[in-house]
Chain A
Amino acid sequence: MKPAPFDYVAARSAAEAVAHLARHGDEAKVLAGGQSLVPMLNMRLARPGILVDINGAGELDYLRESNGVLALGALVRQRALERWAAGRAPLLSEALRAVGHTAIRNRGTVAGNIAHADPASELPAILLLCEGSVVARSPRGERVVPASELFVAPLTTSLRPDELVIEVRLPLPRPDAGWGFAEVARRHGDFALVGAAALVWRDNGRVAGARLAFFGVGGTPARAIAGEGALTGHEATAARVAEAARLAAAGLSPDGDLHATADYRRRVAEVLGGRVLTAALERERRTV
């Protein structure tokens, strides 16, 4: 279908974009990569009065690493991060490969994907797993919103209509951590029916830290705190890992839809949870 008519303004800087958003309130939508917004316009699921295009705000196209934290300006394409991550950040590499297809990642931005907050999307779950945050700017100033407070419901964040995400802050996994990533989708690049990612690190043979996050199994990406707790401080035996995956899946509240029932999703989540924890433990062993 074709979108309903809208006005269009090209912002040349973050300040200009913020001014436009302040003027138009919830009539305005930010256009970055457009890989989620434009489909919604074409299907008329979204009918904004005006699009504020930030593609001309070159100052937001930066990727910097300092003290183990990646700072990604709002215009960094998923493909740019994919290229940066190759050979440097294997968990990110693996997760980005699963985000749509090359043609989508060439346009889609990291910040836009996160702000869109699709519960089945990979990057919001990675941000949650890595305990990252976004920086939001409005006429009131800037604030840092941690991932744990960002995602509130499907396609809904705690950002206000006049706030522009100007930066994503993604802490890279500690070098001694092992990682795991897995998802089940109908086709490579489709939204995940269920996905999981894990980080594990050990001290003296015992798990010193474990993180486990899921996507596609509820209204928002979810950390599995109970599953993580079942591993931390213990020796990572196969039985422990299975118990952690069982607890993790039990804590999820997936929805059923055309593609999979809620029960199926919970069962697959347990399997994937076990797989990503096992993969993370195996990789961790190799880094020591």
Chain B
Amino acid sequence: MKHTVRLNVNGRESERQVEPRTSLADCLRDDLDLTGTHVGCEHGVCGACTVLLDGEPVRACLMLAVQAGGRSIMTVEGLAAGQGRDGALHPLQQAFRDKHGLQCGFCTPGILLTALAFLSENPAPSHDEIREMLAGNLCRCTGYHFIVEAIEHAAALLRSPTPQEGAR
């Protein structure tokens, strides 16, 4: 039996009929066409599907879509949307671009959202704290060094009064 769920994703409301077994990740990708949320391991280990649920990072593969009713969800598509100008990147995205913090990009959406929540709680993290945070997200390309640098750079951009300027 399908259930009706009212979703709020990146500030937009929509209503969908979902099977109980449909994960939030599959619902975002298949029903809402938000394919920026990537599905890797489907058991919570790789972190590629991480989204923000009421501002906190969670695994979208370990939550049922039917549980998301009435909650506010942010996916990677919502990151740049808040930047005003068309094509402008969020400072975090800009930092990943500047510091070469991605290669194939599969893990990147999950890392960006995890890092966004992390930096809002800890605006000036140490290398070790960044590495502990990153332990929840698998990347098979970069070897992590550039991701750590990108997050450190993003922290500096987000702390500066005009982050967009600093991103150049």
Contact = CB atoms under 8 A, between A and B. Distances in A.
Nearest to B131: A188
Interface stretch (B52-60, B81-89, B95-103): B52-60
Interface residues of A, number: 32
A3 interface: yes
Contacts of A187: 135
B21 A2 contact: yes
Given A103-B136, A107-B63, A5 B50 contact: no
Interface stretch (A31-39, A119-127, A167-175, A211-219): A31-39
Contacts, number: 88
Contact of A8 (B3, B53, B136): B3
A4 interface: yes
Contact of A35 (B42, B44, B56, B118): B44
Interface residues of B, number: 31
A188 B135 contact: yes
A235 interface: no
A25 interface: no
A58 interface: no
A2 B132 CA distance: 29
B21 A6 contact: yes
Nearest to B3: A8
B143 interface: no
Contact of B21 (A4, A104, A188): A4
Nearest to A45: B43
B20 A101 contact: no
Q: Which 5 A-B pairs have the closest CB atoms?
A: A101-B136, A8-B20, A39-B43, A188-B135, A103-B57
9 contacts: A2-B26, A3-B21, A6-B20, A38-B62, A41-B21, A43-B43, A106-B56, A107-B58, A188-B131
Given A34-B64, A106-B56, 16 more contacts: A2-B21, A3-B21, A7-B20, A8-B64, A10-B66, A35-B44, A38-B64, A39-B42, A39-B62, A55-B67, A100-B136, A101-B135, A102-B57, A107-B53, A188-B131, A188-B132
